Structure 1
Amino acid sequence: MLWANTGAASRTESADVDPLWWRDHTPEYYDGRELLLIDVAATGPTSPVPPGLTRLPAAGEYYASPALAKLIRERPADQLADRFPGRLAGEIGDAALASPDSLVLVSGQDPGALAARPGARQVTTIATALPERCAGDCPGAGTRGDAMTLILSVVAGALLFPVVVFIGTATRLSAATREQRYAAMRLVGATPRQITLIAAAESTLAAAVGTVLGFLLFLLLRPLVATVPFTGDRFFVEDLILTTPQVLAVLLGVPLAAAVAARLALRRVTVSPLGVSRRATPEPPTAWRLAPLLGGLAELAWFVGRRPETTNGQTAAYLTGFLVIMLGLVIAGPWLTMAAARAVAARTGRPATLIAVRRLADDPRAGFRSVAGLVLALFVTTATVAIIGTIDTNRGTLSGDPQTRTAVELGAMGDEPPMAVSVPEPVLAELRAVPGFEGLALAHANPDGLGHDPADPGDRWAPLLTVCTDLAQVPVVGHCAPGAAVAAVPAYGFLSLTTRQATQWPSAPITAEAAAGLPVQSIYVTTDGSTAARERVRTILSRAFPDQHARMVQDWGSAQQKQLAGWRQLADVVLLTTLPIAGCSLAVSVVAGLSDRRRPFAMLRLTGAPLRLLQRVVGLESTLPLLVVSVIAIGTGFGAAAMFLKSQMHYDLVSPGAAFFALVLLGLAASLGIIASTLPLLKRITGPEAARNG
C-alpha cells in the first residue's frame, strides 16, 4: 500500500491542485491486528483522492476496508466503532489494499480542525512509490524495511538448487534408457552432431510440454496459494502474477537446461559408437573442490560485524553466501565421497563393502550424484530451522507475561512529545464501569525531576510520579515503599513485557495531593484480560484523547509476531518442497545408477555373484555418501545459520529441539527406505540378456 506513504515529509508535491490535509494516525490496533487510520480533509474540488475511493469522505463520514467494515458491523460499538466518529459511508476498493485482511480506514475531517491536529500536513499528490530517500535501497532497513525481499530471495535460492539437481537427475535417467538406441544409430552412420540434435530435441520438447503444464498448474493453484498467509495476511489472487520477463525466463530456461543436461548425459555416446560399453575410469577429484564451500562460509563470516547498511546490500551478501555454500556442497561432495570410500576400504574385508567402496573411489561423482539433492535439502532444512528457531526464541516472548497482557496504557510513543493532559472524572468513571475492569493508575509529570539521579548514566530522564493508592490498584507494575505516599516510576510508563510485582519503586518527596494535581503523562488500566474488556478500555481512551495512542503489550509484538509467522510459513514451504523433491531425486538417481550399470552387474551374476551381494553393493554405494556428506551438510547448515544470525540480528545460535533431530533421523530413514525400495529392480534388469554387448 504505497499510497499510505503520502504523508512522508520527503515527498515532492504539485502546485496544480487543491491541497489535501493528511494525517496518518498510526499505529492503532484491534485485538492484536494493526489498523491503518488516515484522516483527510479536502480544501477544494481538485484535492487528490486515494486509490480505492471514488471520492473523498466528507467531514463526519469514513470509508473502511471490507475486513474492517465487517469487524465494525460484527463487534459491539463500544469495542471498535465508537473510536471512529461519524458514519460508515462505504468500503475501500481492493486497489488500495495489500490483502483482503487489511484493516484500513480513511476518515473525513473538517479542514480547520484537522490542520490543528499534531502530525497533519498538506499534500497535493498521492504516493505511488516509496519516498525518494528509500526508493529501492533504504539504509538501515534490514529485515524490518524490506524483510520479505531478503527472506524470499534466500528461500528462492534454497529451492532452486534441489530443483536443478532433480531436473539433471531425471534427464540422466531418460538419457540412460536411450543410450543404446543412440549408439546403434551411430553404428549405422549417424554423426555425433545428429545424435546431439536428436537428444536435445527430445529433451527440449518434453521440457517444454512440462513447462506449459507447470504454468497451467500455477494458474489452477493460485486461488489456493493466495489463502496462505506468508506475510501474516492472505493475498489477492490478482497479485499472484508473473511478469513477462519471468515467464520468458522459465519458458526458455527450463527447456534449455534440459537440452544441456541431455547433451552432458550423452557425451559418452557421441564420442564413439561403442561408448555405451567402453567407459574409462574418470580422473579422481582433488581437494581443490573444497574451495567453493570454504569460500561461501568465509563470505558469511566476513559479514559478521560488517552487515551491509542497505536491504539490497544484505540480500546480495547473504544470498550469495548461501548459494555459494550450496554450490560448494555439490562440488565438494565427490571428493568427500572418495575420501570416505578410501577410508572404509582400508578398514574392511567384506566382499560387498569392498566392491561398493572401490566403485565409489573409482567414480565418486556418480556415487554422490544420487544423494546430491537430499544433501542440499538437509542443508536447507538445517539452516532454515536453526534461523527461524533462534529468532522465535529471541522474539517469541513479545506477547508478554499473562499478567501484563491484561493491561492497556495511554501515553506518547517513541519520539512523540510527552503527553500532558488532565483526565476528566467522567472518563475515569467510564473506565471503572467497564465489565472486567480491575485497576487504574495515573503517572504524572515530574517537572522538578524528583527522584532523578543525574549521577546514574542509565537514568537519562526524570521519572514519573504515581500516587501510592493508585499503584496499589495495579500490583503487576510494582509497589511503593512502606509508608510512602508517592513513588517515582519509569519515565517511559508502566507497559512492560514482564511483570514487576516484586519491584519496589523509590519514594518521591512530594505529597499525594500535590502529585495528583500535576498533568497526567500515562494512564494504565488493568482488566480481566478478556478481549471485550481491553478493547472497551482502549475505545474509551482513544475517544477521550484522540491525539494519543492506547496500546497493549501484544501490540508491541504484533508486527514482529506477524513477521515471524510469515517466516514460519516460508520455512514450512522450504521443508515441504525440498524434502519431497530430494526424495524423488534420490529414487530417480538410484534407478539411473542401476540402469547405467546393468551390464556389469549382469556379468557379476553370470560369474556366480548372488543377487543379495549385489543388492548390498548398491545399498552401500548410496548409503555411504548419503551419511558422510549429510553430516557435513548439517554441520555447514548450523555454521551458516550462526553466522547469518550473528551478522544480521546479533543473535547467538540456539540449538533446535529434539523435534529437529527426530525429523533428520526420520528423513534419513525414509531415504534408506527409498534406496531399499529400488533394489528389487536389480533382479529384473540384470538378467542374462543384459550381459550381451551393445
Structure 2
Amino acid sequence: MTALPRHRLGRWAGDLALGFRLAVGGGRTSGTGITRLLLGTIGIGIAVTVLLFAASADHAISGREARKLAGVPESTPIAGVAPLTLHDGSTSFRGQRISVRYVHPGGPTSPTPPGLDRIPAPGEMVLSPALADLLRSEDGSLLRPRFAGPEIGTIGVPGLVNPDDLRAYVGADASLIGKPVYAFGSPSPRDGLDPGLLTLLLIGIVSLLAPVFVFVATSARVAGAERDQRLAALRLAGSDLPQVRRIAAAESLVTAACGLALGTGAFLALRQLTPSVRVRDGSLFAADIAPPWPLVAVVVLAVPALSVLSALAALRGTAIEPLGVVRRAKPVRRRLWWRLLPIVLGVLPLATLSLRDGSKLVTVAVATGVACLLIGVPAILPWLLERAVARFHGGRPPLQLAVRRLQLDSGTPARVVAGLAVVLAGAIALQSLLTGQAQALDPGPPPARTTTDLSLNADAQAGPAAVAALAKLPGLATPYLIRQVHLRGADPGRMESVSIADCATWRAVAGIEDCVDGAVYQDRSAGSTIHSGQSYVATYFDEQEREAGTWTVPAMVPSTRQGSYSSVMATPGAMTGLDLSQVWGSATVRVTSDDPDFAEHARNALAPFTWHTSLYLPTPLRQLSPTQQAYLAIRAGLLAAAVFTLLLAGVSLLVLGLEQVRERSRTIGMLAATGVPVRVLARSMVWQNAIPLALGIVIAVATGLGLSALGARLTGAAFTVDWLAVGVLSASAAALVLLVTAVTLPSLRGAARLASVRTE
C-alpha cells in the first residue's frame, strides 16, 4: 500500500487540530462553543451509558445463574471425600424467606459450601451480609432469638445469588439428619428458548437499543447551522471541500470522545447503585454489571464512527460555499426511495423466515430486520413532515411561524421527535407481543392466602416439647402432631398413605371417641385400596425417600374422617415392625391472636429446637413451567428497560430542545425586537414540536402494529392489539414532548430579551 506523502499527513493533522479547536472554542464566543460541546456530550454520554448497561446484561444474568448453580449440593459419592451432612431448612420474617442450612462435616475432607472459609462448628453461624444487617437493625430484634449462636463470618459473594439474599449456615452435631453432600456445584445446561419467547426477546432488545443509536446520530448533529456557518467562513479563507469535511469530522470526534468519557463515568457511578435496585429476581452485585471487552470495543468504535458518519451525511445536503450556506434558500426536496429501503429490508426477513429451526443465521437476520424496520421511522419522518407542511397556508400567527419554520427546515424538528417515535414504535410492538404471549404463558396473580393458621413440622424427638412450647403462647390453640408414612405394594406406580397419631389426637381432630391404642381406623368412603392382611413397604421422606420397614395391615375399624389427613388413621401401637423414630409429624396451629407478629413469636418459641422443627404460614403456590418462568423474567426485564429508555428519550429531547432554542436565538431575538409577543413565540414553539409529534405518533403506531403482526407470525401466537395500551403510550409520548417544550420556555424568554439581540 502506498504511503501518504509527509506533507499530506501534516495537512490532515492540521485540519484535525483545527477541528478540535473549533469544537471547544468555535463560534463568536468561547461560551458558545462550550455550550454546544456540552449539549452534544450529554446526548452522546446518556446513549453510551445505556449501551454499556445493555452490553452487561448477559454477563449479569450468567453470573447470577452461575452462583445459583454453585450452591447446588451433589450427592454422588466421590472417592476420598467424607460426605457433608446437609439439612435444608428455612424460616420467615415478616414475609421474607430466610434460607437456613444446617451442616455437619463427616471428616476433614468434607466439602465446604461456596462463600464460606470453613464449615461452622456446632452452634456457630455464618450469615449473609443482608441477614447480618437485618439482625443488627431495630426491626431485627424480633428475629435475633432464632440466630443466637456466635457469628464466625460472612458468606462471600460466591455463596450468594443476590446482594439481598437472606441466608445462613449453622453448624450442627452428629445427630443431624440430612442428605450426604460430596461436592457443591452443578453443570448449567442451557436449553434454547421457546421460539415465541426468543422472538419476543429479540424484538424487545432491538426495540430498546435502536433509539439509542438514533440519539447518538442526532446528538452528533447538534448546532448544525452554526457549524455550517463556520465551515463557510473556512471556505472563504481558502479551504477546499475535503478539508471542510475533515474539520467537521474532527469536531464530531471531539463531541463523541467527550460523550464516551461522560457515559463511561456515569456507567461506573450508576452501577454502584445496582445492589439497591430490586427487580423481580432480586438485585445484582456491582461486579455483575461488567460488559465484556469485545462489546466495550464495539461501543467505543461504533459511537465515534456513527457520529462522524452522521456529521458527514448532514454536509451532503448542504452546499457550503465561501459566500454562505445555500441551506438558507428553499431546501431541495427529499427523496423517498432510499427512505423506504430500510422498511423493505426489515419486512422481508420478518415475513419470510422462522425461528423454529434454531439457526443462528436466521436469528441474526430477524434481529437485523427488526432494526431496519425501526430505523425506517426516523428515515421517513422528515420526508413526511416536509410533504405535510409544503402546501399549508393561513392560520393564526403562532401556527404560521411554526409552519414557516418547518417549511424552511423540517429536518431539525423531525430529529427532535424521531428518537421518541422509535421508542413509541418499539413499546407498542412489545406491548402487543406481550399481550399475545400472555394468553398462553401468563399465570396470572398468585392465589391469595386463605388462612392465617400456622403449619408445624417436628421430628419424633422434639415433637412433644415443641407442642408444649407453643401451648404456652397466648392466642395459639394446642396443636396435634400427626405423622404420615406411604405404603408401596405390588404396583410401584400406586402409593397410599397412612396417618399416625395417639388416641388423644384422634379424639380431638377426628372425633373417634372410642379410640384404642393398637387400632387402625379407615374411612371407606374415600376409596382407599389398603386392605387388611396385606403387607406393604412403608416409606417416608427426609431430604430423600427412606424405608421404615414392612407393615402388615391389621383388621381396620370403619370410621369417618373430619379432617384433610389420610383415609387410614392408625395409632402407634398398630405400627409394629416399623421404625418411626425419624418420621416427622405435622400439625395445623389454630391462631386466635390479633397480634400481626404472632407468627414471629411462635417461631422464636421454637428457636431452641433448631433443625428439629419448622413453622410457616401455608402459602398457595403456583406451579410454573420453565417457559412460564422465562416469560415472566423476560417481561419484567423488558418493561424495566422500557422505562429506562423512555427516561433516556426525555433527557435527549430536553437536550435537543434546548439546542433548538439556542440555535434560533438570533431569529427569536429579532422577532421579539420587531414586536412579536413572547407568548406568540412560545405557542409557535409548541406548534413546531406538536406537528412533527403528531406525524411521528402516526408512523410509530403503524410501525409498532406492523412489527407486532410480523412478530406474531414468527411466534405462531394470535395477533392481539391492546388499543388502550396504544392510546396510553401515545398520550405519554405526547405529554413528554409537551413537558420538554414547557421546560425550554424559560430559555426562549431569555433569547427574546433585547439584551440578547445586542450580543448577537
Q: 2:187 aligns to what?
A: 131
Instruction: Give SS of 2:255's match.
Output: helix
Residue 63 (structure 1) shift: 1.4
- Which of 616, 623, 630 is the matching residue for 2:690? 623
**Contact 2:68–2:160 (8 Å) recurs in 1:** no
Amino acid at match of 2:739: A
2:666 is aligned with 1:666: no
Whole-angstrom distance in 1 between the partners of 2:89 and 2:717: 26
Instruction: Give SS of 2:446's match.
Output: coil
Q: 1:370 aligns to what?
A: 416
Instruction: Give SS of 2:231's match.
Output: helix
Q: 2:120 aligns to what?
A: 57
- Which of 315, 330, 343 is the matching residue for 1:292? 343
Residue 100 (structure 1) shift: 3.8
Residue 626 (structure 1) shift: 0.8
Instruction: Give SS of 1:25's match.
Output: strand
- CA, structure 1 residues 203+222, in 2 after alignment: closer, same or farther (shift >3 Å)? same
**Contact 2:208–2:641 (8 Å) recurs in 1:** no
Q: 2:308 aligns to what?
A: 259
- Which of 530, 534, 541 is the matching residue for 2:599? 534
2:88 is aligned with 1:25: yes
Name whichever of 82-91 and 261-270 sits farther off. Answer: 82-91
Whole-angstrom distance in 2 between the partners of 1:75 and 1:554: 31
Residue 668 (structure 1) shift: 4.2
2:647 is aligned with 1:582: no
Residue 648 (structure 1) shift: 11
Q: TM-score, normalised by structure 1?
A: 0.65
Q: 2:178 aligns to what?
A: 117
Q: 1:45 aligns to what?
A: 108
Instruction: Give SS of 1:172's match.
Output: coil
Describe the superposition over 1:610-642 as per-residue Cα deviations: whole angstroms up to 9, x where unpaired: 999998777645422211221442565577679
Bigger Cα Rg: 2
Whole-angstrom distance in 2 between the partners of 1:471 and 1:273: 103
- Which of 84, 90, 101 is the matching residue for 2:153? 90
1:526-605 superposed matches below 5 A: 527=591, 532-537=597-602, 550=616, 552-553=618-619, 570=641, 572-589=643-660, 594=664
Describe the superposition over 1:262-289 as per-residue Cα deviations: whole angstroms up to 9, x where unpaired: 2222235577556722665134324972
**Contact 1:467–1:486 (8 Å) recurs in 2:** no
**Contact 2:67–2:160 (8 Å) recurs in 1:** no
**Contact 1:297–1:640 (8 Å) recurs in 2:** no
Instruction: Give SS of 2:325's match.
Output: coil
Residue 372 (structure 1) shift: 0.6
Residue 65 (structure 1) shift: 1.3
Unpaired segments ≥5 residues, structure 2: 1-63, 489-493, 500-504, 512-522, 528-556, 572-582
Residue 644 (structure 1) shift: 7.6
**Contact 2:220–2:252 (8 Å) recurs in 1:** yes
Q: 2:69 aligns to what?
A: 5
Describe the superposition over 1:291-338 as per-residue Cα deviations: whole angstroms up to 9, x where unpaired: 6389469849988xx78999x999979976764553232234345445
Unpaired segments ≥5 residues, structure 1: 412-418, 450-459, 473-484, 490-507, 690-694
- CA, structure 1 residues 274+616, in 2 after alignment: closer, same or farther (shift >3 Å)? farther
Amino acid at match of 1:330: P
Amino acid at match of 2:335: P
Describe the superposition over 1:455-507 as per-residue Cα deviations: whole angstroms up to 9, x where unpaired: xxxxx9989999997599xxxxxxxxxxxx99979xxxxxxxxxxxxxxxxxx
Whole-angstrom distance in 2 between the partners of 1:439 and 1:5: 41
- CA, structure 1 residues 141+167, in 2 after alignment: closer, same or farther (shift >3 Å)? closer
Amino acid at match of 2:694: L
Count of residue pairs brought into register by the alignment:
615
Q: 2:18 aligns to what?
A: none
- CA, structure 1 residues 56+248, in 2 after alignment: closer, same or farther (shift >3 Å)? same
Residue 177 (structure 1) shift: 0.5
Q: 1:164 aligns to what?
A: 213
2:374 is aligned with 1:326: yes
Whole-angstrom distance in 1 between the partners of 2:203 and 2:474: 49
Name whichever of 234-243 and 608-617 sits farther off. Answer: 608-617
Q: 1:107 aligns to what?
A: 170
Q: 2:531 aligns to what?
A: none
- CA, structure 1 residues 70+384, in 2 after alignment: closer, same or farther (shift >3 Å)? same
Q: 2:5 aligns to what?
A: none
Instruction: Give SS of 2:219's match.
Output: helix
**Contact 1:78–1:539 (8 Å) recurs in 2:** no
Instruction: Give SS of 2:168's match.
Output: strand
Q: 1:481 aligns to what?
A: none
Whole-angstrom distance in 2 between the partners of 1:51 and 1:262: 53
Amino acid at match of 2:69: N
Whole-angstrom distance in 1 between the partners of 2:507 and 2:381: 69
Q: 2:551 aligns to what?
A: none
**Contact 1:286–1:335 (8 Å) recurs in 2:** no
Q: 1:398 aligns to what?
A: 446
Instruction: Give SS of 2:448's match.
Output: coil
Whole-angstrom distance in 1 between the partners of 2:478 and 2:362: 47
2:282 is aligned with 1:282: no
Q: 2:277 aligns to what?
A: 228
Describe the superposition over 1:79-114 as per-residue Cα deviations: whole angstroms up to 9, x where unpaired: 75676796543322345334442222223455x766
1:283-682 superposed matches below 5 A: 283-286=334-337, 289=340, 292=343, 295=346, 299=350, 323-334=371-382, 336-337=384-385, 340-341=388-389, 345=391, 350=395, 368-379=414-425, 397-398=445-446, 400-401=448-449, 403-404=450-451, 406-409=452-455, 424=463, 426-437=465-476, 470=509, 510-512=559-561, 515-517=568-570, 523-525=587-589, 527=591, 532-537=597-602, 550=616, 552-553=618-619, 570=641, 572-589=643-660, 594=664, 620-634=687-701, 655-656=724-725, 663-664=732-733, 666-673=735-742
Whole-angstrom distance in 1 between the partners of 2:243 and 2:745: 39
Whole-angstrom distance in 2 between the partners of 1:260 and 1:205: 14
Instruction: Give SS of 2:644's match.
Output: helix
Q: 1:195 aligns to what?
A: 244
Q: TM-score, normalised by structure 2?
A: 0.60
- CA, structure 1 residues 339+540, in 2 after alignment: closer, same or farther (shift >3 Å)? farther
- CA, structure 1 residues 66+557, in 2 after alignment: closer, same or farther (shift >3 Å)? farther
**Contact 2:87–2:178 (8 Å) recurs in 1:** no
Instruction: Give SS of 2:98's match.
Output: strand
Whole-angstrom distance in 2 between the partners of 1:142 and 1:82: 49
Instruction: Give SS of 2:220's match.
Output: helix
Amino acid at match of 1:378: L
Percent identity between matched residues is 28
Q: 2:575 aligns to what?
A: none
Q: 1:476 aligns to what?
A: none
Describe the superposition over 1:501-536 as per-residue Cα deviations: whole angstroms up to 9, x where unpaired: xxxxxxx98434975538998644454585632345
Residue 196 (structure 1) shift: 1.6
Whole-angstrom distance in 2 between the partners of 1:289 and 1:266: 22
Whole-angstrom distance in 1 between the partners of 2:141 and 2:568: 32
- CA, structure 1 residues 68+567, in 2 after alignment: closer, same or farther (shift >3 Å)? farther
**Contact 1:387–1:641 (8 Å) recurs in 2:** yes
Instruction: Give SS of 1:437's match.
Output: coil
Whole-angstrom distance in 1 between the partners of 2:430 and 2:483: 47
Whole-angstrom distance in 2 between the partners of 1:313 and 1:106: 47
Whole-angstrom distance in 2 between the partners of 1:11 and 1:281: 75
Whole-angstrom distance in 2 between the partners of 1:206 and 1:335: 28
